[in-house]
Chains A and B, each alone.
Chain A
């Protein structure tokens, strides 16, 4: 417990504080150092010093000062406030929130603490403190718009919709009074009209959320004149009318919406539901026929019938649909009808074949577009060489859309190398087209030609600049759709440092996405766009569900586990040594070059001091890193089997058997396939048996848990026999199990006979066989027989 500061210290502290607030940091430092010399445990002064040195760019000292200051003065609202400011500056919002909350609890009347705590509480989704501080803020000034809006937002998030409505009612009255103070006869300025309109629609959303559609509709109609967002008005009104069962009004409302935007598929679906025709094919057919006639340029009414028509009707409609698209020369025609191949394969096959049998048009472009459709049709129905022939006969062989189709067909036959090559050429023919550039970069990744891909992907970000590669820029530009597959490709080619560097790069983009919302807690409500802001919160809440985050974490977890367990990656020592030397030379050369300032910049480019990801390979506890990346998945994807499969692998690598088996139990409860569970059970038992650090009793206890997730035999049968019996259905898992059991004898021949027909599995197996250093001649032969163009075999 700290003593109260002496009068002298308190006065000096106030002076130092004034200097800090006047941004006179140098003098503030002199003053605060004097205090600390006399009283080295004065917590407030320690925290103030942290802020002062922060602004003097001595940032590595700050955290220690803050920690010491708050330890010395745990009951000082001032110390905690300053600690909070520091954490906020470094965007450590979780600790900033805790510090501000402490300060608020110790002394609840500081307006600036209220303001920041209100932002931090929402950033941390701490709704209790959020509501508390926002109610407190009302006492700060009832004429401040933001105070009202923020309180209503807090109440909305707490699902206290009636309270939010009441708050907004009071706020509305305030706005009315303000409007009356405007000179009479004059319309309110546009900005105020817009804010008012947004508030009314936010309040209306509260009625909707309450489930009181009658009140919501009445509210909407009452404010019709003031609502500027006419689309929202129309959409909400139609929805409420439908909910209230006011059939004919709802029908009219949706017809008006279709008139407004005849390409919005949801309007049609809602209208169908209200008309209660969803169950009748003939009524639906009539419905869409008349709408297609009324809106001849709209896609939706022509497209929907493909999803429900059957037999001859579907045949005729599909044929007409495709013919019309081809007549217009639409290259994406196949994408529009692809779903029909899933729902009605036979008819799709027939229609496609009939179209293929028709004669070609004279026009070269139309002929080529037709070739694209036919080729994709043939490839989708597993006639790949015929598909390629059609492409070869197209009149415009260099049309980019044709080349894209060709690359797709080649990929489906495992010829990733040619696919990448022809796309690179197409991109070179049209150097200004980023779409082609992006496709070429992605196909190079599929071909595992990472260096080529990086070269292509760098073209746009570094246009006009001299720099090492463009990936740094792409990371700054948050290009996760490229960076995550890039990380996966590095992992495939056993470039572990780069795989981790790019995967961690993706993770850091997602962390930035999360922090990005902070300023909007202020800006959104201030601007009045509360509905758009609430959408932002909702998006951020599911941020870590994003498939690109998952992809990056899968790569990183795999790499960190391999790093921790010293797994053999199948690359021989000589190759590794060569690469190491090459990279060391590269770094030496880079460091010897003078700093480069790109055109239009005033500072030289910042160099990447670790261009090959050494820092990640040097991590002391790689499995802790894996767990850190996995944790957001536990929050965001708790019902995804994948989440628990990853947890199992991490915990097993840590020899935490109970947690590993509990993760498997979760996977099992979520419906994980039995062959996977048998595989994982075998892996756990195998490792337990080899683990000499585990006590026999404990080991036996843990073994006893296994039959809860895998067949009983997992603890009684020999493991090789067990995996042959229970994992065989999933050949790649089975091969992996055989490999970790050290019984690799039959792997190659079994894979050769059993998976050669499945190109995706072949691609994965080829990588695994190389990694395991198995002689894959027999496998390669079998794959070549089925897929003569396959380019991925080692």
Chain B
């Protein structure tokens, strides 16, 4: 069975291992636990359960910038996407977009986030397309040599408002 749900603190060690198997930027568990306990509503996982065993195939970690000393005082509450990844074989299913939508809505509701920012590798065209076209992010600037291997990053932002809440007609069609 496939499922997308909010991550609990119990998921973060597996998120750590998924991150290590997917992306070059990695985190100690202690940092991830700090993330989990500081912003418990921000992170979501996509899981696949087969033969009774649930396995994480994608995740998004989102935080608030409330621990960012560099932001000017009285900045609007801003969210930041720390890391997002979906196992390569699970692409083309819209999982990353679905994870992000859930996460952004929670950040808006729980923490009153008015903005959300992220960095994406210049070469990651699929992710860029997702952020820009599906989720409505805008490129703010290019951060030169942002990554450890010197690749440039696009710094992206999106304004968060209540349009995050899906507008599906509330009919009774799905009732028996």
If A264-B4, A434-B24, A531-B40 touch, whether A190 touches B77 (CB-CB below 8 Å) is yes
A635 contacts the other chain (CB 8 A)? no
B117: min CB distance to chain A, Å: 18
Interface residues on chain A, number (Cβ under 8 Å): 82
* Complexed CA–CA distance, A732 and B93 (Å): 43
Binary B-proximity of A496-538 (CB < 8 A = 1, otherwise 0): 0000000000000000110011011001100101011101101
Q: Find the B residue at minimum CB distance from A233.
A: B109
Some 10 contacts from A to B, beta carbons below 8 A apart, are A264-B5, A265-B2, A294-B168, A339-B50, A401-B89, A432-B123, A435-B22, A478-B16, A516-B29, A536-B33
Contact check: which of B4, B20, B23, B110 meets A263 at CB < 8 Å?
B4
B88 contacts the other chain (CB 8 A)? yes
B residues contacting A by CB (< 8 A) are: 1-6, 8-10, 12-13, 16-17, 20-24, 26, 28-30, 33-34, 36-38, 40-41, 46, 48-51, 66, 77, 87-94, 98, 102, 105-106, 109-112, 123, 148-149, 166, 168, 170, 173-176
Instruction: Determine whether the beta carbon of B20 is less than 8 Å from that of A229.
Output: no
Q: Hey, which chain A residues are within 8 Å of B23, CB to CB?
A: 434
Q: Hey, which chain B residues are within 8 Å of A194, CB to CB?
A: 110-111
Ranked 5 nearest A-B pairs via Cβ: A532-B40, A535-B9, A265-B3, A263-B4, A438-B21
Instruction: Determine whether the beta carbon of B174 is less than 8 Å from that of A255.
Output: yes
- Per DSSP, chain B at the interface is mixed
Q: Hey, which chain B residues are within 8 Å of A190, CB to CB?
A: 77, 111-112
A residues contacting B by CB (< 8 A) are: 190-191, 194, 197, 228-232, 251, 255, 258-261, 263-266, 275, 277, 283, 286-287, 290-291, 293-295, 297, 299-300, 303-304, 307, 328-332, 335-336, 338-339, 342, 400-401, 404, 432-436, 438, 460, 463-464, 474, 477-482, 512-513, 516-517, 519-520, 523-524, 527, 529, 531-533, 535-536, 538-539, 546
Contact check: which of B20, B87, B93 meets A299 at CB < 8 Å?
B93
B74: min CB distance to chain A, Å: 12
Q: Find the B residue at minimum CB distance from A460.
A: B24
* Complexed CA–CA distance, A294 and B105 (Å): 21
Instruction: Determine whether the beta carbon of A291 is less than 8 Å from that of B176.
Output: no
Q: Which of B1, B46, B50, B168 has the most CB of A within 10 A?
A: B1
* Complexed CA–CA distance, A263 and B47 (Å): 10
If A230-B109, A286-B176 touch, whether A481 touches B2 (CB-CB below 8 Å) is no
Instruction: Determine whether the beta carbon of A536 is less than 8 Å from that of B41.
Output: no
Instruction: Determine whether the beta carbon of A523 is less than 8 Å from that of B37.
Output: yes
* Complexed CA–CA distance, A287 and B17 (Å): 37
* Complexed CA–CA distance, A261 and B46 (Å): 12
Q: Hey, which chain A residues are within 8 Å of B34, CB to CB?
A: 520, 523
Contact check: which of B28, B92, B102, B112 meets A331 at CB < 8 Å?
B92
B91: min CB distance to chain A, Å: 7
* Complexed CA–CA distance, A464 and B8 (Å): 35
If A336-B2, A401-B88 touch, whether A520 touches B176 (CB-CB below 8 Å) is no
Contact check: which of A230, A264, A532 meets B8 at CB < 8 Å?
A532
